[in-house]
Structure 1
């Protein structure tokens, strides 16, 4: 039985009240102007606001205390119907989210005493937060005092997803799976990265969703966050597509697949792909409550290092190679991250959500980009995304060349020049007894991918 939105929101704020006993005020934020006031960037409400308010309301504030919710938002202006159509009133919105009371924004200044908050991203609203709270509000990634205590409380709630959140996350995953299949199927019919991207994002838009981040659709897979789409597709290229969907209420998916443009992996591409896939599968098999996420990352590192030794690219003992971070020459990022209302969930709070209290990021080359370092718990959603990349900025770095001169067979590596970047990413839910892959309907085996691309 599906739980209603007001019931879910009430349960969330009651859980917050059990662990945090001060008033809480959360702002949604405002759309940012692109070039003139009426032309704005798409609005995205603060995720912390969304978690307790449920709707992507612009220029709205909620106040939480003793398990109750007060909504502060102005009624639509009389002339807004001309540009935006009929808009819901304050009272109608309050009823939809189960608010206990609703007021115009002018009333907010009377209700801010001793309240904790989380800084939003847009500067104008952040300034308003400090003014109304009558104190400096530090950036979200460096909260202080009662704001830090609130951030920790919110993290403890959002690390594990409730039934309503999981329903949204499943919808986002399903649409993203369909988008990736569309990208694979259209590849043989188009000539550019942009056309593949268009086919994928069309599916997301057609389902009344948005992209949960800037899509990565590129034959330059070694550029980890490549947001350019102007390359032409050539036979022999691999195309790496990292594309996710976000539901109307903000819940995200995050999937990556890599496929051959001509529908058939070369022998060298297949060899590397199978190593990445082996790491991917082993990491998912290891996911259980209580397992340390860093151990999952190190498992991926070991499997990738072993695979590269077997191919003659790396030389030496696998455990020594991982200990000295030689694997990170080709797998420089972490195995994944939290997933929820943000595609990198709660990373606006810095490492507060990703790292167990008392832990700090390592300075090691092979661990510095690990975004999650805490034991897994039921109903936590994470990504698993091992990869192999030939990043010129790493492999051509003189210091790296010198440090790893004895463990990399550079001549052997040249044989694999047609493998710029490969990543395989799925969204994995931690269950009471193991894991569930929310994106499992999207194939990741070479033969299955080749069949999809060839139609």
Structure 2
């Protein structure tokens, strides 16, 4: 059954709610301008527990001995379906997605106080959505005002996102299948961009190649705004203008991933616009590639989240010394953070329904209080070097920006890189010169 993974997650949440109730709204539709909307994208927490794709929907989970899941959604409407497309409606939604029951969204306000009544705990993430903070506050106030008639409001509010973040850190088989499909499509998009690249093209032309391949293979689109950065633009970490022409003497950095059933891939590749690395470009690229290999080797069950970043930094510092950009020892460069003008971000992040996915990275404030890696966690590994033109950087290295990023699953045996876009110098040059 298609809804089985979502039903199982709801069951697991209900087991942890105690005698409580959880409220999970999906994201609202948002106007782009006038009466034109942005493409709709559901709330990740709501999707994780429901798999229900429509806006104007709220999931209510009730724990305890009478555990059940209740969906509030739009009613069937022949008129609106003519304009906007298919709607499930409550009856069909309950059957198709395995909810205990479903009601029209128009009845939520009147039913909400009773759903909250006589429950010890309300599970809700205060501060995530001001409108829902207000709506739930009003429902609680109504219950308290009716106290003389025996109504009782929940006496405790607990953070629902904290509970769900913990669950979302380790992916189930359905999630891993979606993420592998997203990774395969994104890898094909990067390879297409390499084959299409020519000096004089605009960055947005390569972006178009990616977009075409993503949609052609069934992805819903980009998982985030893509970065296509030629030359010195690659030294801008969040460059998204993608509107400059590509010089045949430069590298181009592409950071792009796609989305399948809500799940993201996240790949970065850097390659020479003309298809061959210069000696200087290759030297920097090989340092970053070695740093990525060291980071991946450090990923295993029982390791701390920060361990693979430290492994990458050590290799990058040695590389910067070899290039003449740093002096002294690797340990001194790490301790003084002398590498940070050339490498200023961390080596990765969680990956899943959100590109920077839910889940804590630390369990405390100490240097050793990092989350311990366990099988089922998915993360990115993305070291880089960014040599912005300055008097501290030799002219032959000016404007070289390199980042290499892959998606990695923590397994019981260690780790698995499941993104397969061309990565080594040889692989990239072979793809770019293949007719």
TM-score interval, normalised by the smaller of the two chains: 0.7 to 0.9
CA positional deviation for 1:120: 8.4
Query: Can you list the C-alpha shifts for 1:381-439, whole angstroms capped at 9, x where unaligned?
Result: 000000001347xx68xxxxxxxxxxxxx2x63331141x1100000000011111110
In the alignment, does 2:56 pair up with 1:46?
A: no
Q: Hey, which of these two has a bigger chunk of strand by percent? A: 2
Counterpart among 387, 394, 399 of residue 413 in structure 1: 394
Equivalent in the alignment of 1:449 = 428
In the alignment, does 2:435 pair up with 1:438?
A: no
Equivalent in the alignment of 2:123 = 116
Partner Cα distance (1:327, 1:168) in 2: 37
Equivalent in the alignment of 1:163 = 173
Partner Cα distance (1:453, 1:35) in 2: 41
Counterpart among 2, 10, 20 of residue 13 in structure 1: 10
Counterpart among 386, 389, 407 of residue 427 in structure 1: 407
In the alignment, does 2:254 pair up with 1:241?
A: yes
How many correspondences in the alignment? 407
Partner Cα distance (1:179, 1:12) in 2: 32
| Structure with bigger RCO (C-alpha 8 Å, 6+ apart) | 1
Moved more, 263-272 or 65-74: 65-74
Query: Can you list the C-alpha shifts for 1:223-264, whole angstroms capped at 9, x where unaligned?
Result: 1111101100111111100000111x3111100000000001
Equivalent in the alignment of 1:299 = 311
Partner Cα distance (1:120, 1:217) in 2: 34
Contact 1:188 1:453 in 2 (8 A): no
Contact 1:245 1:253 in 2 (8 A): yes
Counterpart among 294, 310, 314 of residue 322 in structure 2: 310
Equivalent in the alignment of 1:382 = 379
Partner Cα distance (2:364, 2:189) in 1: 40
Equivalent in the alignment of 1:224 = 237
Gaps (5+ residues) in structure 1? 136-144, 347-352, 363-371, 397-409
CA positional deviation for 1:190: 6.5
Counterpart among 324, 338, 345 of residue 333 in structure 1: 345
Matched residue SS, 1:165: helix
CA positional deviation for 1:19: 3.0
CA positional deviation for 1:293: 1.7
Counterpart among 260, 265, 271 of residue 272 in structure 2: 260
Gaps (5+ residues) in structure 2? 143-155
Q: Which has the larger radius of gyration?
A: 2
Question: Which runs of structure 2 are paired with 1:137-216 in the superposition (5 Å)?
Answer: 146-148=157-159, 150-188=160-198, 191-206=201-216, 207-216=218-227
CA positional deviation for 1:129: 4.9
Counterpart among 263, 283, 289 of residue 271 in structure 1: 283
CA positional deviation for 1:130: 4.6
Partner Cα distance (2:432, 2:139) in 1: 56
Partner Cα distance (2:25, 2:180) in 1: 27
